[in-house]
């Protein structure tokens, strides 16, 4: 680390400037109580509420910025982080960044996809084929684990069209809904990596002021991630309905039961971490819950 980096006492987080992860990353950090002075079209946002600044960059640059100590933390897809980690490993470098938290958005998977006309018999079928991908290091590592020798054709985008253009026989690319594969008459046959947005940081520990800031940010982040789907559920029920109701709340943190009307009527209050779907509320109603109320949880600090 350079002396300039070491002497910094503000925390710097790299996020995508624009793209799929840009808005959710910013929203997540804002839900941790951070706010910034600059508008979002700037490259640098100065932290106002806390000394935590943002650097807005291309997602591919985030692991390198962490490795070089230019940024302390970053929000990036696991696919990008793992690809660059695998690339460093192949080049003989030591790991320079690590995944610290998974963030629950930007979900997709890195998958092998073959033309729909192929009848898939397993990885051995790939020997001697040409595979187009933007993830050559992850693909090569997977091929080696499977003991397959194939030709890896590296493309920076529009990978799915490569078979139709005769550049490759099959592809290895990100899949979410599967619509892009279907539009190109391809079908997924193997998953190499399940991905989502992650908080990445350096392999080593922070020191001084940045260690305290990072610790606080992680604590708030954990609270924000926990409450993302959390709701406070309240209802009333007859005491004898409680044994049928509690099994419908497996994700509830120790429900509080209060006596209302004499001995037989109870009010229940529970913090639920799973989704309280309409179906679930109807099931609760059928099991005897009355006056069901679902309230948002603003923040939660363990």
Binding site for Mg ion (CB under 5 A): 59-60
Measure the CA–CA gap between 24 and 29, rounded to whole angstroms: 9
- Reduce the DSSP state of residue 243 to 3 states and report it: helix
Cβ proximity to ligand PRP: between 35 and 158 the closer is 158
Residue 124 near which of ligand ATP, ligand PRP, Mg ion, none (CB within 5-8 Å, type-dependent): none
Vertex 82 angle, CA 79 and 86, to 5°: 135
CB of 19 to ligand PRP, least distance (A): 8
Q: Which residues contact 109 (CB under 8 A, 6 or more apart)?
A: 174, 175, 176, 191, 192, 193, 194, 195
Among candidate residues 15, 8, 4, the one with its CA nearest the CA of residue 206: 8
Cβ proximity to ligand ATP: between 18 and 49 the closer is 18
Q: Is 63 one of the binding residues for ligand ATP (CB under 6 A)?
A: no
Candidates 11, 15, 21, 270: give the one binding ligand ATP (CB under 6 A).
Answer: 21
Pairing mode of beta strands 265-272, 186-195 = unpaired
- Reduce the DSSP state of residue 273 to 3 states and report it: coil
Residue 178 near which of Mg ion, ligand PRP, ligand ATP, none (CB within 5-8 Å, type-dependent): ligand PRP
**Per-residue binder mask for ligand ATP (CB under 6 A), 253-282, x = binder:** ------------------------------
Which 192-211 residues touch ligand ATP, going by CB under 6 A?
195
Which 153-182 residues touch ligand PRP, going by CB under 6 A?
157-158, 160, 173-180
Q: Which residues contact 302 (CB under 8 A, 6 or more apart)?
A: 219, 222, 223, 226
Q: Is 84 one of the binding residues for ligand ATP (CB under 6 A)?
A: no
Cβ proximity to ligand ATP: between 74 and 106 the closer is 106
Q: What are φ and ψ of residue 81, in 5° steps?
A: -65, -45
Q: Is 176 one of the binding residues for ligand ATP (CB under 6 A)?
A: yes
Strands (E), the chain: 11-16, 44-45, 52-57, 73-77, 97-102, 108-115, 130-133, 151-154, 170-175, 186-195, 197-202, 231-238, 252-259, 265-272, 290-296
Candidates 16, 84, 133, 184: give the one binding ligand ATP (CB under 6 A).
Answer: 16
CB of 78 to ligand ATP, least distance (A): 7
Vertex 139 angle, CA 138 and 143, to 5°: 120
By CB under 6 A, name the binding residues for ligand PRP: 157-158, 160, 173-180
By CB under 6 A, name the binding residues for ligand ATP: 16, 19-21, 58-60, 77, 79-80, 106-108, 174, 176, 195
């Amino acid at each position: 680390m350079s002396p300039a980096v070491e002497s910094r006492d503000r925390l710097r987080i790299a996020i995508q400037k624009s793209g799929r992860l840009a808005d959710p990353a910013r929203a997540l950090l804002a839900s941790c109580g951070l706010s910034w002075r600059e508008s979002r079209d700037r490259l640098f946002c100065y932290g106002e509420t806390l000394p935590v600044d943002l650097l807005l960059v291309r997602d591919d640059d985030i692991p390198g910025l962490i490795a070089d100590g230019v940024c302390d933390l970053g929000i990036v897809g696991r696919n990008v982080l793992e690809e660059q980690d695998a690339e460093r490993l192949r080049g003989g470098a030591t790991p320079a960044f690590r995944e610290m938290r998974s963030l629950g958005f930007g979900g997709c998977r890195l998958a092998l996809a073959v033309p729909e006309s192929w009848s898939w018999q397993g990885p051995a079928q790939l020997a001697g084929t040409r595979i187009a991908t933007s993830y050559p290091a992850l693909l090569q590592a997977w091929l080696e684990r499977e003991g397959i020798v194939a030709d890896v054709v590296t493309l920076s985008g529009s990978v799915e069209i490569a078979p139709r253009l005769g550049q490759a026989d099959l592809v290895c690319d990100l899949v979410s809904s599967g619509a892009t594969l279907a539009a190109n008459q391809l079908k997924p046959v193997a998953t190499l990596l399940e991905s989502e947005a992650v908080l990445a940081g350096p392999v080593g520990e922070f020191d001084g002021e940045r260690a305290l800031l990072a610790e606080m940010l992680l604590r708030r982040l954990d609270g924000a991630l926990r409450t993302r789907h959390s709701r406070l559920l309240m209802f009333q029920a007859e005491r004898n309905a409680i044994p049928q109701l509690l099994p419908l709340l497996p994700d509830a943190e120790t429900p509080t039961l209060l006596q209302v009307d004499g001995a037989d009527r109870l009010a229940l209050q529970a913090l639920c971490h799973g989704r309280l779907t309409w179906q679930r509320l109807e099931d609760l109603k059928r099991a005897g819950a009355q006056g069901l109320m679902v309230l948002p949880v603003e923040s939660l600090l363990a």
